[in-house]
Structure 1
Amino acid sequence: MLLLMTICFLADPSVCREERLSLSFEDTGYTACMVHAQWVLAEWQQSHPGWRIDRWHCVARAAVPKKI
């Protein structure tokens, strides 16, 4: 599974970009990804204080869209 996020720069909210984090939940599915993602997002946010997570979702690697 991949955790797809749209993040925006706090100093200039019009500056946004995509981040993709790899999670190892292919066999367990979306529910496990959604639950585990909460911890991953919290850790990511703490280590990137200048950015805000605007939106996120889990997606299977085979179904990854070009843009989120």
Structure 2
Amino acid sequence: MFIVLYACLIQAPATCREEYINFSMEVSAPLACMTSSQVTLAQWSQSHPQWRIGRWKCVPADRLSHDI
């Protein structure tokens, strides 16, 4: 399972990027990923203070290339 997040620079909101975080979670548990990933997102946000997370989703690894 991957967390795909879309983040934009705080000082330049038009500058955005997608990030992919490998998240250890069973493929059959997308709801668990959505709730458990909050800690991972907070850690990413803390280590990237110049970026603001706009949206995010959980994507199984086998569907990653189709969801981008």
Same fold per superposition (TM over 0.5) = yes
Percent of aligned positions with the same letter in both sequences? Answer: 40
Query: What is the TM-score with the length of structure 2 in the denominator?
Result: 0.89
Runs of 4+ in 1 over 6 A off after TM superposition: none
Contact 2:34 2:57 in 1 (8 A): yes
Structure holding more helix per residue: 2
Aligned to 1:7: 7
Inter-partner Cα distance in structure 1 for 2:3 and 2:51 = 16
Cα offset, 1:27, TM superposition: 4.8
Unaligned runs of 5+ in 1: none
Deviations 1:12-52 (A, max 9, x none): 00000000000110255112211111111111111110000
What is the aligned-residue RMSD (CA, Å)?
1.3
Contact 2:59–2:67 (CA under 8 A) maintained in structure 1: no
* Higher strand proportion: 1
Unaligned runs of 5+ in 2: none
Secondary structure at the counterpart of residue 13 of structure 1: coil
